Amino acid sequence: MSIVVTGATGHLGRHVVRQLLEKVPADQVTAVVRDRDRAADLAALGVRIAVADYNAPETFDGLFTAGDRVLLVSGNEFDKGRVRQHTVVIDAAKKAGVALLAYTSAPETLKATLADDHRATEAVLTGSGVPYVLLRNGWYHENYTEQLAPVLEHGAVVQAAGEGRISSASRADYAAAAVAVLTGEGHENKAYELGGDEAWSFAEYAAELSRQTGREIVYNPVSVEAYTGILTGAGVPGPLADVFAGVDASIAKGELVVSTGDLSRLAGRPTTPLSEAVAAALKG
């Protein structure tokens, strides 16, 4: 039996692997990666490295074994058919007879286009007969704190989210929930709605940036159309800009507020405050 993490060299995957090593021996952890060279740090920790690609079904042949617990980290190649990619992993897991497959999805409340692939993947997984867990991850602090350069340059947070609020948390928080599910018992065929303990607005985010930088940072709400134009002007491909702007429209409607408390319960601790994530990002 192994605990297998796909997308293990991605931002979330690395957190999961490293936190797993605090709970189980390294030889029980398999990191699935596309590029073995990018996983050298994980290999040095004693983790088994398996090379496979969501776009090449044959690379998953024989990768899983009966009794494995698998974390399917959702792909980020929006233009390559993510549902088809995820189905490759689900099919391989079913064929092997894995004990559990956890999937990083999106909150059930999110109706933006971004969520369509997640809902479709959930349907494939729940219909597969594989024991599943739906980890419906909310937004990450890092979606914003890793994009501070233009905010600091212009002294403005520009979004199309109106006065909407977001229950974000850190990647490490979501990883802790995944680790709890992968190493715990009694999670089969459950869905968890995951989000930070404290919801915040972009006006509050701008105020926090102002407090920590000592500079005036304002929130400049714009229309969805204007925001799409800003993104494409910055070099974001049109279809992806539409996805991001659509998420902001959903935020304005309150669709990324998650108040279940599932994340802190699974992690066994309060979620990381936004202020901490901002401080870490500013230290760089």
How far is Cα of residue 22 from the mean position of the Cα atoms in its chain?
Answer: 21
Q: What is the DSSP string of 40-109?
A: HHHHHTT-EEEE-BTTBGGGGTTTS-TT-EEEEPPP--TTS-HHHHHHHHHHHHHHHT-SEEEEEE--TT
Is the pTM value of this prediction over 0.75? yes
Burial of 140 (0-12, 13-18, 19+ CB in 10 A): buried
What lies within 8 Å, CB to CB, of 186 at 6+ separation is none
Q: What is the per-residue pLDDT for 135? A: 98
* The pLDDT of residue 79: 73
Task: Give the pLDDT confidence score for residue 144 in this predicted structure.
Answer: 96
Radius of gyration of the chain (CA): 19
Q: What is the pLDDT of residue 80?
A: 74
pLDDT value of position 284 = 79
pLDDT at residue number 76 = 83
Average pLDDT per 10 consecutive residues for the chain, totaling 284 residues: 94 97 97 96 96 96 97 86 96 98 98 94 98 98 95 97 98 98 98 98 98 98 97 92 95 98 98 98 91
